[in-house]
């Protein structure tokens, strides 16, 4: 408590969050009645907003490296895009872009 988190632990947290991000976007795409990719991307935007809020609120607290919230922001959209595409491929629809 009150001590900065070590980079090794933050790297571990980043690595295990990737499958959770992917799974979450897949669930959103799976539950979408139409346009699974767009719904998954909206979940990615939510991740970017949440990561940005986390970065802003912890930036001046000295609780760890600044790369961690930035990594979460950077990973949100690629994870969401990948799973939206997976869902579209499962449905056998055409993937644009």
This prediction's pTM: 0.75
Is the pLDDT higher at 87 or at 68? 68
Structure tokens at 16: 């295990």
Average pLDDT, the chain: 82
CA-angle at 14, arms to 81 and 46, nearest 5°: 45
- Cα separation, 52 vs 45, whole angstroms: 10
Q: Model confidence over 1-47: pLDDT tens digits?
A: 566 678 888 899 899 989 998 888 889 888 887 888 888 899 999 99
């Amino acid at each position: 408590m009150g001590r900065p988190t070590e980079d090794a632990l933050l790297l571990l947290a980043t690595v295990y969050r990737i499958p959770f991000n992917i799974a979450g976007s897949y669930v959103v795409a799976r539950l979408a009645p139409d346009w699974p990719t767009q719904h998954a991307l909206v979940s990615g935007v939510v991740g970017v907003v949440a990561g940005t809020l986390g970065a802003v609120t912890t930036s001046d607290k000295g609780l760890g490296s600044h790369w961690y919230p930035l990594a979460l922001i950077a990973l949100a959209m690629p994870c969401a895009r990948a799973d939206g595409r997976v869902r579209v491929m499962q449905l056998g629809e055409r993937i644009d872009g």
